[in-house]
Structure 1
Amino acid sequence: MTNIHDIARISGYSVATVSRVINHRPYVSEPVRQAVLKVVRQLDYVPNAVARDLSAGRTMSIGVVTPMREHPYFTELTHALTQAAFARGYHVVLLPSQYDASLEKRYLEQLRRQAYDGLIFTSHTMALAQMVPYQKYGPVVICHDPGAVDLPAAYSDRGETYLEGYRWLKAHGAKQVGTFLPRAPKRSATAAAMVAAYQTVFGRAPAPELLVEDVMAPASGYAAAAKLAAVGVDGIFTNGDDIAANAWRYYQDHQLPEPLLVGQEAQLSGRLLKLPTIDHHFQQVGKLAIALATGELTGQHAVASTFMAP
């Protein structure tokens, strides 16, 4: 494969001069530039983009660590991240983690070895404090509120809309309210925020039987509804409109009185069923996260979610 040493040998100019011509640098006379370019054309030389980017201290790639779950939080946020990265000329490398801390650590080590210009964690298992030391190798961005931990972050501020969702259920007469959670509250900032909002609105912690965990894929709403139907709820705060639609289908299939339902993610299914829902504005979150990962922004940026009643 042709390289700049071949061009230098054939053209008779130094490697440094050839490099200046290829990289459009100054301090090369026009006759010399044309002579070098003539050899470049003869040899059909194409610069190695990867090597050039690395020599400039960048890879033009952003790693996006995701559990690769079916929940719209991951699919819509990943789509937004990809769009924002491509608009800046960056590639996105999807890094599936399945909430495996050892894989998350491996991706951070790859950042240390300059495999990416930055890493974005859509969700994670590792403690935030373990990520902080890797900041010296490139931005490590998270997509939830980091609290007191000094990490760049872009996330939806969901607290007020979770309160609005439970208040809506309470105002419409729901007394026995169940909640679908993505993971256990001690492992998920989202789940913890939902439980905290329930406690604020109802003045007590939710009974364990009113919480259904690991509700991620839309179809899981059906089985989760079966668990709450056995308890006898009259309202359910779900974690996705498609999930809520499958919960509604369970009650329809079993000819049971439908509980009040609150969705999330502002999906078409929610509009068709005329459910109250929450728009977490993932497009904005994705743009901010990419700007942090590329170094255009620093700090922590929250985007306020929007509660939408039918």
Structure 2
Amino acid sequence: MATIKDVSKLAGVSVATVSRYLNKNGYVSKEAGETIAEVIEKLNYRPNNIARSLAGMKTATIGLMVPDILNPFFPELARAIEDAANDYGYTVMLCNTDNDSAKEQKYIDTLLHKQVDGIIISSYGIKPEHLSSLQKQSIPVILIDNVFSSDSVVSLTVENERGGELAVEHLLERGCSKIAHICGPLSITSSRERTAGFENASRGTDWFTPSLIGYSDFTVHGGYTAMLELLSIHPDLDGIFASNDLMAAGALKALQESGKNVPRDVKVIGFDGIGLEMMTPELSTIAQPISELGKTAMDSLMGLIRKESDILTDQVFPVTLIAKQSTMTN
């Protein structure tokens, strides 16, 4: 098995130069970098990450914590993060937490044991004490879709409240006169913000009442049961804004089983913009920039890992209305 000394000897450079090239830390001339790359490929050299970590160097590994890998939003996000990580020469350890706080702590302990260089957390059950334990270990962290105002951790979110307003405005423009909302768990920042957007756009109308808000858990089944309950209270509703696309899919199923035609009788819009092209009718949605979120998360984390960014600020990304068949006019 080739060693770093073999690479330096064949490339005609010092071991320190090869090390700087591998770690992307410090100056390496373009010519030397090209030569080292050729030698690495020729020798099929692979850095010993365990040895590197014991020597106080980077392991070129990060952790990614998500709450539910069955929700298509998170595989899309993970793919974007992995693509960006690959460009940096990093690998990603995926941790599916199932919204379980104890499981999240177990994953954090495992990632610390594996000596990852940083962690991206897009998990709803994460608690301030989890973040504190990481900060004590000097592990760089980026949060996605969650905010802890009391902690000095960078958060990447989207315009959730504005997205809720856009959804209601779109349904009103399409002729709806009584709109209900299927809300996600109120313990989740994004869910609360989307519901606030719904309330902002609905208050002042002659049809709004708090009973038009149903509560669910960001799953297809949750959307299905919440939709049936809303129909039992408001059989005359003609518009639905679901706080994510999976709940919207469940709502569509419940409406169809209840004899409601979508979009003729009830128009439905979701939130996230995940790939649900096979759904009939195709779902209108408020789309998040998932790829941009993932890439920015990885870029920001690398800035922290390399200590290139002393101060990073929270970022809020815009959302986009995508109108499809589920909100078509009659």
Q: Which TM-score applies when normalising by structure 1?
A: 0.75
User: For 1:262, which of 257, 262, 269 is the aligned residue?
Assistant: 269
Match of 2:317 in 1: 303
Q: How does 1:238-277 map to 2 (within 5 A)?
A: 238-241=242-245, 243-256=247-260, 258-266=265-273, 267-269=275-277, 273=281, 275-277=283-285
SS at match of 1:278: strand
State the shift of 1:73 in Å: 2.4
The structure-2 alpha-carbon separation of the partners of 1:17 and 1:239, relative to structure 1 and needing over 3 Å to count, comes to closer
1:235-281, Cα deviation, whole Å (9 max, x unpaired): 21123445434423332333235322112233444996365321101
Tell me if 1:215 matches 2:218. Answer: yes
SS at match of 2:259: coil
State the shift of 1:160 in Å: 1.4
Match of 1:283 in 2: 291
Match of 1:159 in 2: 161
State the shift of 1:77 in Å: 1.3
**Percent of counterpart pairs with the same letter?**
19
State the shift of 1:60 in Å: 1.1
Question: Is the 2:287–2:320 Cα contact (8 Å) retained in structure 1?
Answer: yes
1:92-137, Cα deviation, whole Å (9 max, x unpaired): 1111212222222233334444521111111231323641452352
Match of 2:39 in 1: none
SS at match of 1:116: coil
1:115 maps to a residue whose letter is Q
Largest Rg, 1 or 2: 1
SS at match of 1:74: helix
In structure 2, how many angstroms separate the alpha carbons of the residues matched to 1:84 and 1:231? 47
Question: Is the 1:143–1:153 Cα contact (8 Å) retained in structure 2?
Answer: yes
1:42-77, Cα deviation, whole Å (9 max, x unpaired): xx9976622343135211111111122422322221
The structure-2 alpha-carbon separation of the partners of 1:71 and 1:178, relative to structure 1 and needing over 3 Å to count, comes to farther
The structure-2 alpha-carbon separation of the partners of 1:99 and 1:59, relative to structure 1 and needing over 3 Å to count, comes to same
The structure-2 alpha-carbon separation of the partners of 1:271 and 1:303, relative to structure 1 and needing over 3 Å to count, comes to farther
Q: Which TM-score applies when normalising by structure 2?
A: 0.71
1:177-222, Cα deviation, whole Å (9 max, x unpaired): 3222332x1x1112101221122122289625631311324x5543
1:261 maps to a residue whose letter is V
Match of 1:30 in 2: none
Match of 2:189 in 1: 189
Match of 2:98 in 1: 98
User: For 1:168, which of 159, 167, 170 is the aligned residue?
Assistant: 170
Question: Is the 2:163–2:194 Cα contact (8 Å) retained in structure 1?
Answer: no
Question: Is the 1:118–1:293 Cα contact (8 Å) retained in structure 2?
Answer: yes
In structure 2, how many angstroms separate the alpha carbons of the residues matched to 1:52 and 1:175? 65
Question: Is the 2:122–2:146 Cα contact (8 Å) retained in structure 1?
Answer: no
In structure 2, how many angstroms separate the alpha carbons of the residues matched to 1:130 and 1:118? 14
2:81 maps to a residue whose letter is L
The structure-2 alpha-carbon separation of the partners of 1:113 and 1:295, relative to structure 1 and needing over 3 Å to count, comes to farther
Match of 1:51 in 2: 50
Question: Is the 1:64–1:94 Cα contact (8 Å) retained in structure 2?
Answer: yes
Q: How does 1:63-82 map to 2 (within 5 A)?
A: 63-82=63-82
Q: Where does structure 2 lack aligned partners over 5 or more consecutive residues?
A: 17-42, 325-330
The structure-2 alpha-carbon separation of the partners of 1:130 and 1:93, relative to structure 1 and needing over 3 Å to count, comes to closer
In structure 2, how many angstroms separate the alpha carbons of the residues matched to 1:144 and 1:263? 17
Q: How does 1:13-162 map to 2 (within 5 A)?
A: 25=14, 49-54=48-53, 55=55, 57-113=57-113, 115-128=115-128, 130-135=130-135, 136-146=137-147, 148=149, 149-162=151-164
User: For 2:180, which of 178, 181, 184 is the aligned residue?
Assistant: 178
